[in-house]
Amino acid sequence: MPDAFLGLSVDDQREVLELASQRTGRPAHLLEKDVWVVWVLQTLFGDRFGDESGTATHPPSPLAAHLTFKGGTSLSKAYRIIDRFSEDIDLTYDIRRLIPDLVDAATALPGSRSQADRWTKAVRTRLPQWIDHDVRPLLQQAIDQQRLSVRLEQAGTEQDKLLLHYPAQRLGTGYVAPVVTMEFGARATGEPHQVMQVTCDMAGQVDGVTFPQASPQVMTVARTFWEKATAAHVYCAQARIRGERYARHWHDLAAIARSEHFDAVLADRDVARAVAEHKSRFFIERDADGRTIDYFAATGGQLAIEPVGLARDALQADYALMVADDVMVGHALTFEDLMAACASIAARANAAA
């Protein structure tokens, strides 16, 4: 009978990590965090595909049908597109479930700016409550049942994050911390999406040891691309990078462009327009000159994702930190090559529009 990795002793876990690191060429601290990322997904969504015999040992959770896994980690774990370790879990809870008394289920979009403000205010009030009343107990029950030495913490300025602190057996430079961050949003439906299988990077590398696996509902590549592209467009239009750890978005755009999905992404004009419409209602931003940023222009032929000046310098510094912690798999692009790739992406996207 195979042993579950999370049920092994500390010494045995370390031995498995070192062996898997040698076989995969990936740093042990990233392989370890990957296990916890997949464990969280397994607990939140279940595993509909099951083991080799087809037995589903983790049926879908009560949250699975209305929760969508998205962002860079979905590109890495579900689509296997990006060649970097993606450590956080971005999730959308269907807005129609959170504020059904306010939302028009047919469109799930507010009809005016004042209505958008009311929806946003309601989401900010109810989302933390839902996390505390529904998500946290689900995870805590699994932690208790499996006797895991981890700790949950609700965090974020709006209490929209749930942190899983785990006892790391291996550490890197510090860029990747021993914490899995679940970041929840609830101002969209998460659509379009599809159920996909997710496994650990160590799966199949060590005989006699099993690892978590999950089958989350995953946002499509096209929606993820346009959400990231419009976010990068805003940062460039504002000529500043707000916060840290943003280089991953540009890296992910370049990875999508290299993938087999890119032609279909550019051809899916419905998704591009849907992202523009959604952000125009909920995420109004102004450029460096104080003008309202036009998302329809960004998705319709005027996308600009190559920053200049101090914003470019800040992005380059963050990218260097990401590379230093061995987050990349294989040979990472130089920053100059990354910027050239993004210029090409914008040109292709604008031409397609």
The predicted-structure confidence for 279-304, as pLDDT tens digits, reads as follows 999 999 999 999 999 999 999 999 99
pTM above 0.85, yes or no: yes
pLDDT band at 327 (very low <50, low <70, confident <90, very high): low
Q: How much is the pLDDT for 2?
A: 79
pLDDT score for 53: 45
pLDDT above 70: residue 181: yes
160-179, pLDDT tens digit by residue?
999 999 998 877 666 678 99
> d(Cα 328, Cα 164) in Å, to the nearest integer?
23
- Quote the pLDDT of residue 331: 64
57 CB burial (10 A radius; 0-12, 13-18, 19+): exposed
Give CA 148 to chain center in angstroms.
24
Contact 276, 296 (CB under 8 A): yes
* Count of residues making up the chain: 353
Q: Do 92 and 70 meet the contact criterion of CB atoms below 8 Å apart?
A: yes
Give the mean pLDDT of 109-122. Answer: 94
Q: What is the pLDDT of residues 30-80, one digit of tens each?
A: 999 999 999 999 999 999 776 544 455 788 999 999 999 999 899 999 999
